[in-house]
Amino acid sequence: PGIEGAKQLAAYTAVDKHILPHHKIIGIGSGSTVPYVVERIMQQGTELNKGRTFIPTGFQSKELIIEARLNLGDVDQYLTIDVTIDGADEVDAQLNCIKGGGACHLREKVLAEAAKSFIIVADYRKNGKYLGENFAHGVPIEVVPFAYAKVLQNLRSVLGSPNASLRMAKAKAGPVVTDNANFVIDAPFSRDLIKDPSSLLTKIKLLTGVVEVGLFCNIAQAAYFGNQDGSVTIKR
Ligand code: DER
């Protein structure tokens, strides 16, 4: 199967194994793989899904839930989530992820941490040994607009990301604006700086004006990758 088939394979396998009848509160991530997650959950039947509530990780995720006629809920109403399933831009051997390719990583991390189990679904391109191997855009960082130039300067001259850049929109003049009305900076780091992702996460998070960092360390329980030969690789 091509890349879309690989995404579907990962999503279907993960839903079949991790979205069970007793799971009632389900977090839905963002990106182009999660539509297959929703598709597979719908196939579990309207009766079962009538008793469930689905929590979105942003506008796109919310529209997915609404279009699937699934019950919509908010994380301030459901503070504990049974399972959250989401995509990723890259996953290393320890299940650390780079996320934020879709500029949704703030709400995604809230729901990932709120879940008893956080499951990643992706195609084979995201299956890496170390972070930064394939995802060359760098670490996505959500910043408040007021502080973006200072954060850029600190990333470039202090934290060792000279090519850090403000993410510009394609279908809009100016920068990408997140669901939280913030900007996104993409900061590439060399392998020696990102080989310890959790300490890099802390350094970036402490920069004044940073809202959230697209490094998800020690959160995911398992990751499912659809492969080109129709097999699925599971990391746990
Ligand atoms: O922004 C994110 O982290 C999303 O989950 C996204 O990057 C996942 O990418 P996908 O479109 O390949 O599923």
Q: What is the pLDDT of residue 50?
A: 98
CA atoms within 13 Å, Cβ hemisphere of 208: 4
pLDDT per residue over 91-121, tens digit each? Answer: 999 999 999 999 999 999 999 999 999 999 9
Give the residue whose CA is nearest to atom 6 of ligand 1. Answer: 31
**pTM to 2 decimal places:** 0.97
Q: What is the pLDDT of residue 75?
A: 95
Which among 67, 59, 107 has a CA at the least distance from the CA of 86? 107
Ligand 1 touching residue 84 (CB < 6 A): no
Cα(44) to centroid of ligand 1, in Å?
24
Q: What is the pLDDT of residue 134?
A: 82
Q: What is the pLDDT of residue 137?
A: 83
For residues 234 and 222, is the Cβ–Cβ distance under 8 A?
A: yes
For residues 111 and 84, is the Cβ–Cβ distance under 8 A?
A: yes
Q: What is the pLDDT of residue 133?
A: 84
What average pLDDT does the segment 46-63 reach? 98
Q: What is the pLDDT of residue 214?
A: 98
Positions annotated as catalytic residues are 108
Cα(223) to centroid of ligand 1, in Å?
13
Ligand 1 touching residue 104 (CB < 6 A): yes
For residues 139 and 109, is the Cβ–Cβ distance under 8 A?
A: no
Q: Check the CA dihedral 37-180-128-2 and report its sign.
A: positive
Q: Check the CA dihedral 122-124-127-132 and report its sign.
A: negative
CA distance 59 to 53: 17
Per mean pLDDT, which range of 12-21, 29-38, 65-74, 128-137 is the poorest?
128-137
What average pLDDT does the segment 138-165 reach? 98
CA distance 139 to 164: 9
Q: Which of 33, 57, 110, 142 to mutate to test the pocket of ligand 1 (most atoms within 8 A of CB)?
A: 33
Average pLDDT of the chain, as a whole number: 97
Q: What is the pLDDT of residue 71?
A: 98
Ligand 1 touching residue 197 (CB < 6 A): no
> For residue 135, is pLDDT > 90?
no
Instruction: Kindly write down the DSSP assignment for every residue of 148-199, as one continuous string.
Output: HHHHHHHHHHTSS-TT-EE-B-SSSSSB---TTS-EEEEE---HHHHSSHHH
> For residue 25, is pLDDT > 90?
yes
Closest atom of ligand 1 to CA, residue 125: 12
**Token pair for residue 123?**
């195609």
